[in-house]
Amino acid sequence: MSVTTNPGGKSGRLSDRQKDVIQKFAALGSLFALVAIFSLTSNAFFTVGNGMTVALQVTSIALLGIGATCVIITGGIDLSVGSVLALAGVVAALCVKELGLPVWGGMLIGILTGSACGLVNGILVTRMRLPPFIATLGMMLIARGVALQITGARAISGLGESFGVLGNGALFRVVRIGEDGFPTVVFPGIPYPVILMIAIALAVSFMLNRSVLGRHIYAVGSNVDAARLSGVDVARTVNFTYVLSGTLAGLTGCVLMSRLVTAQPNEGVMYELDAIASAVIGGTSLIGGVGSISGTAIGAFVIGILRNGLNMNGVSAFTQQIIIGLVILLTVWIDQLRNRR
């Protein structure tokens, strides 16, 4: 004990504030570390083009992660988003192809399908008092089943070019036609899905931090009894988070199907786990009451960059899973250390 001198004797224990800062920077720091390492190991990694590719790949994880974060803050969980996004995308495609609706109309119906699934989840949890894990597990199977049923398990293609605009279009894309007549891409532009992701992240973050609803979401997750006894409408608050999660799943489904210009009923398998992982890496507590959209965004980028960087370095898909699994365990372990006092 007396080997080292320790003036003040305080340096052994960090204050909560310091621990919070460390946690935030741990995730952000590891993100920068990943970028640095992959830039060194692969020339193609740190380029504008690849940056946009990563951002595009991250959008689906991030959009689902934003919904998952809100649900998890209330102390719940949503396992159904992977299936719901498939159902929503398939519904959108069928509306366009079979019913002849315009693309925006079909996609709106697709997104609303996601909202409806979320509403059912919310009612199962609040009214019928099913554990969120069970309620959304049931929805996960049902939504996937319906998606396969209505498509006959076949992909829907031939949707027309306009169906692909949402997923493949980009803003500020600069293309110069060279003297040889071939176009050169000067700037690939900011893909629409990335713009969508940023806008929604800002909006939900604003909702959580600035609105009464957001305050209620944290209060329910922090102490559901205290919230109820303070007059918070717990059922409505919890319901909202599931509807939000379902809606974002619906939107993700439309974006993904649009990118492929094909609706796949098998799309999005296990995406719910990526969404939950991104929230958890970003410091959202599965016990509820703690979490932020900025953290989830960092978490989504950690997963996306890991995948992209490992791909570029020729690491096999199997090894990638192992590495991402280890990253999740490591970050949650750090979180546990932080909460142990």
Task: List residues binding other proteins (CB under 8 A).
Answer: 16, 210-213, 215-216, 218-219, 222-223, 225-233, 289-290
Residue among 211 and 266 whose Cβ is closer to other proteins? 211
Residue among 73 and 85 whose Cβ is closer to other proteins? 73
CA dist., res. 198 & res. 3, Å (int): 52
Taking CA atoms, 264 is separated from 42, 150, 212, 220, 340, in Å, by 32, 11, 39, 37, 45
Residue among 45 and 218 whose Cβ is closer to other proteins? 218
Residue among 192 and 218 whose Cβ is closer to other proteins? 218
In whole angstroms, the minimum distance from the beta carbon of 206 to other proteins comes to 9
Cα within 13 Å of Cα(28), Cβ side: 8
In whole angstroms, the minimum distance from the beta carbon of 14 to other proteins comes to 14
In whole angstroms, the minimum distance from the beta carbon of 226 to other proteins comes to 5
Q: Are residues 27 and 334 in contact, defined by beta-carbon separation less than 8 angstroms?
A: no
Reading the block at residue 326, the tokens are 């280890």
What phi and psi values does residue 264 have, to the nearest 5 degrees?
-110, 115
3-state secondary structure of 123: helix
Residue among 109 and 208 whose Cβ is closer to other proteins? 208
In whole angstroms, the minimum distance from the beta carbon of 112 to other proteins comes to 23
Residue among 195 and 235 whose Cβ is closer to other proteins? 235
Residues 6+ apart with CB under 8 A from 176: 183, 184, 186
DSSP lists the bridge partners of residue 170 as: 191
Dihedral, 169, 174, 175, 176 alpha carbons, nearest 10: 170
CA dist., res. 92 & res. 60, Å (int): 17
